[in-house]
A and B are shown apart, each in its own frame.
Chain A
Amino acid sequence: MQKNKDNSMFKASWTYNEAPESTDHIQIKKKYDLYIDGKFSKPIKGKYFDTLNPSTNEKIASVAEATSEDVDAAVQAAKKAFESWSKLTGKERGKYIFRIARLIQERAREFAVIESLDGGKPIRESRDIDIPLAANHFFYYAGWADKLAYAFPNRNPKPIGVVGQIIPWNFPLLMAAWKLAPALATGNTVVLKPAETTSLTALKLAEIIHESGIPKGVVNIVTGAGETGAAIVNHPDVGKIAFTGSTNVGKYIQKATAGTHKKLTLELGGKGANIIFEDAAIDQAVEGIINAIFFNQGHVCCAGSRLFVQESVADIVIDKLKNRMETLIIGNPLDKNTDIGAINSKKQLQTIENYIKIGLNEGGEIYQPDCNLPKNGNWCAPTLFINVSQSHRIVQEEIFGPVLTIQTFRTINEVVEKANNTPYGLSAGVWTQNGAKMFHLTQKLNAGVIWGNTFNKFDATSPFGGTKESGFGREGGLHGLKPYVKFD
């Protein structure tokens, strides 16, 4: 593969010693059972699968595989618990949610280490972003629990019943928090399934939820792969499905729930446009590009994976981006200095590598920094494809990895047309110091989230969700309550 060495002129000479976060304070069991009806119980068919450390592909623990019988037990437990939980006052519900938030904070370090161990993301991200944000979501929605009448004035909001929640592997604990917190605050009971490659923090969360003393059956956590998810989606006693994951699975779920009473929210894939104008603060925009595409190894549905640079600054932006990429530290996710960690699974690595091959076959100009990737585990160097067009497959399809495509544009209208020319509509970023231009763009871009002079910023108070094939429904903020209530 072609590697350009010209960009090492500013290469760092001072290498930092390893600074691994210690793992001696964490507790991981050898075997994890299902959390159903307030108890950890073995799966009915007795099957378990391995969860691996993606940075080494060594086994961390065995996790129970829930079959449709287990899912049924979980739904029945949730259904029974709903009777009393939905009648509890909002204030009382809020107390439990606040307690969960505080317990996450207390054990934040343990959660951060396990998240990085099981998922491959750098400890800097799990410590500074995933875990604090997860706690924030619980705090935020705990506050809404006794104020729902004010969230929906004169509409008498009521809980739906049992909600089924299926979460992805890219932000395991954070996505669990996004889904659980509003569901509990509005008085629903939950059956939640974490992704099969990253079940551990959800199971740790089950321990915390148990510790919080929340009534049994209110939260049930079942682990497993696609079939377990399908059992939740197809269960007749589930009143609502909330899913975050790939667009293909989202389409399957929408078909499966069509013609049923089930409410549905989907947060699916994306191919976010990150647009840099000539009047942007270029050095900060370059940081923005890095943060948009290499955050969490690019395993981000709202990643800024399509870069659009105005032609007049294209050369300087690309040069600076290449120089900056030389200083990225790739390696052990538990090292505090790591910028880019491991790819979440072998399967995902194959997908990414396949797209890189497609890009090369399409004649894309590839750039990867001069970095040494660890031998074991799943690793992918941060990658640019320069001088590509809307017609390239790597520009059209979601890669879900650290691969950025770079296109140039000349005018506002041109870039709006190209940015919107995708089946997705989740995120976009605009970089300009011109306020009028910024507001003009945010009106024209068809995306659920548009960042101005920044990228990949999240907050519990801010709604998040997509348009077009990126899904529907919002999570976070006041909007995030709505999918979990019904009105008279």
Chain B
Amino acid sequence: MIPNLNNLPVYDTTGVNERIARFCSRSIKSSSKVEGLKLALSMIDLTTLEGKDTTRKVQQLCYKAMHPHDTLKNIPTVAAVCVYPAFVKEAKKALHGSDIQVASVATAFPSGQSSLEVKLLDTKFAVDQGADEIDMVISRGEFLAGNYQYVFDEIAAVKEACGKAHLKVILETGELDTLDNVRKASEIAIYAGADFIKTSTGKIQPAATLPVTYVMLNAIKDYYLKTGKMIGMKPAGGISTSKIALQYLVMLNEVLGEKWMNKNYFRFGASSLTNDILMQLVKSETGIYQSINYFSKD
């Protein structure tokens, strides 16, 4: 049932930004840095969502997912590969034998401007192709028009269509404008059955930001306090460097803590982040920053 949205916590942008500044001023060094980098790598949803995607491009990406940098020992693989529904089957095949998940965007991604029927078909298609995770978009137009019940029902219907696949609900926070809206949309998504809430499609600027993620983490925290159920979080888009990724992890560490510090409950939707993390890991092992050309671009 749709939660009471009239009594939600509100957010003060100045206060949120001050809190974020504190996370960003944490100094992460030596072994704790390596620990953080490896954790971040293991949480990446390696993503390609382009009109020009092809089967071979997806195959290449999948190889990269399984072999991020073979000359580095003791590094994890990424958590998942995220593609359009048309490439799920290929990705599934390419990743066979690994424990890397295949995530597929669905529901008329990225705008979500289609009928519920089409969105459910889109979802079912991806699931039938073998997707382990579905990244859906909410109807931002309906949300901003105040039709919260519509948004709620749509998410609930998609959740049902997912079957065993995990559902990540993309709020597209760049279109919601205020932190209070982000909180409201998080609440709707969580109560409608989201396993994860996700900031952005990556197609709208701004994509993931620390303040927006902070608000969503708080929604997850409050839900846990009320129900004891854990919801995952996925910031996506714009997280391109290790430094920023570590800032997200510091925030996760200090807001939700231990239980959430793994790929089952936190993901980064990113593509170029992987190589930056690898570069930092090589630096921590050898003391030298290698040229970007030593890191494979798939």
Contacts and interface: CB of A to CB of B under 8 A. Distances in A.
Nearest to B228: A9
B70 interface: no
Given A12-B257, A14-B36, A16-B27, 12 more contacts: A13-B253, A13-B258, A14-B35, A14-B250, A19-B29, A282-B9, A283-B9, A283-B16, A287-B19, A336-B27, A453-B15, A454-B14
Nearest to A313: B9
Interface string A1-30: 000000001111111111100000000000
Contact of A284 (B12, B25, B33, B259): B12
B261 A13 contact: yes
Nearest to A328: B254
A337 B36 CA distance: 16
- Helix, strand, loop or mixed for chain A's interface? loop
B221 interface: yes
Contact of A10 (B11, B19, B257): B257
Interface centre among A11, A17, A282, A283, by most B CB within 10 Å?
A283
Contacts of B256: 10
Nearest to B12: A281
A331 to B, nearest CB: 13
B228 to A, nearest CB: 10
A140 B89 CA distance: 66
Interface string A217-239: 00000000000000000000000
A433 interface: yes
Nearest to A284: B15
B255 A10 contact: yes
Contacts of B283: none
A327 interface: yes
Contacts of A453: 12, 14-15
11 contacts: A10-B259, A13-B261, A14-B32, A14-B249, A15-B32, A17-B28, A17-B29, A283-B218, A284-B15, A288-B15, A336-B25
Contacts of B144: none
Contacts of A124: 25
A337 B26 CA distance: 5
A319 interface: yes
- Helix, strand, loop or mixed for chain B's interface? helix
Given A19-B27, A336-B25, A11 B12 contact: no
Given A16-B27, A16-B28, A337-B26, A284 B16 contact: yes
Contact of B18 (A10, A17, A287): A287
Contacts of A14: 32, 35-36, 39, 249-250, 253, 261
A281 B15 contact: yes
- The 5 nearest A-B residue pairs measured at CB: A284-B15, A13-B258, A19-B27, A336-B27, A10-B257
A337 B27 contact: yes
A454 B26 CA distance: 22
Interface string B41-71: 0000000000000000000000000000000
Contacts of B39: 14
Interface string A116-134: 0000000010001000000
A15 B253 CA distance: 9
A106 B70 CA distance: 47
B165 to A, nearest CB: 28
A15 B36 CA distance: 10
B31 interface: yes
A424 B14 CA distance: 29
A410 B225 CA distance: 25
Nearest to B32: A17
Contacts of A279: 10
Contacts of A15: 32
Nearest to A11: B257
B74 interface: no
Given A17-B29, A17-B32, A319-B225, A12 B253 contact: yes
A16 B26 contact: yes
Nearest to A327: B254
A222 B249 CA distance: 49
A281 B11 contact: yes
Contacts of B18: 287, 454
Interface centre among B9, B18, B30, B39, by most A CB within 10 Å?
B9
Contacts of B254: 12, 327
B14 to A, nearest CB: 7
Contacts of A283: 9, 11, 15-16, 218
A18 B28 CA distance: 8
B15 A9 contact: no
Interface in A284-339: 284-285, 287-288, 319, 327, 336-337
B53 to A, nearest CB: 35
Interface in B217-263: 218, 221, 225, 249-250, 253-259, 261
A13 B36 CA distance: 11
A128 B26 CA distance: 13
Interface string A34-63: 000000000000000000000000000000
Contacts of B30: 17
B221 A10 contact: yes
A147 B259 CA distance: 60
A12 B258 contact: yes
B10 A281 contact: yes
Interface in A417-443: 433
B12 A13 contact: no
Nearest to B34: A17
A125 B22 CA distance: 11
Interface centre among B12, B28, B36, by most A CB within 10 Å?
B12
A338 to B, nearest CB: 10
A408 B18 CA distance: 26
Interface string B181-201: 000000000000000000000
Contact of A433 (B12, B35, B225): B12
A17 B31 contact: yes
